[in-house]
Structure 1
């Protein structure tokens, strides 16, 4: 039962977020073999001024062993 959380800066339209969620579900189903009904996707908008505190440090710096794709930026 994969649950995917996408954290991004605000500014994307609802249509973009819906399309992103749909494409993530398609990829999870295609790669992992789960049924669509078992996949959930959440999108959290994080203000740029809060990115380092709410995302970069806790989810990237502090969990580097869990990252399968590291960002190409430093903070």
Structure 2
């Protein structure tokens, strides 16, 4: 039951663009996890740049390095 949680700065996506993003991510997850399409879920949460450090960077990137499989190329 893979779940992908995407957090990003606010950006407008059409419903079609959101669906294409979810389809692309689902395809990779199905292939890499040997999962079924119906088992995958994907969420997209917008985080304002002012809240990024406290909402994402510190608790999820710096605070949970054991789960991070790709480090960002920036620091705060």
What TM-score do the two structures reach when normalised by structure 2?
A: 0.91
Partner of 2:10: 10
Runs of 5+ consecutive residues of structure 2 not aligned to the other structure: none
Partner-residue secondary structure (3-state), 1:65: coil
User: Residue 44 in 1 paired to residue 36 in 2?
Assistant: no
Following superposition, the deviation at residue 50 of structure 1 comes to: 0.5
Aligned length: 75
Following superposition, the deviation at residue 60 of structure 1 comes to: 0.3
Structure (1/2) with the larger helix percentage: 1
Partner-residue secondary structure (3-state), 1:28: helix
Q: How does 1:34-73 map to 2 (within 5 A)?
A: 34-73=35-74
What TM-score do the two structures reach when normalised by structure 1?
A: 0.92
Q: What value does the CA root-mean-square deviation take over the aligned residues?
A: 1.0
Runs of 5+ consecutive residues of structure 1 not aligned to the other structure: none
Following superposition, the deviation at residue 18 of structure 1 comes to: 2.2
Cα distance in 2 for residues equivalent to 1:18 and 1:42: 11
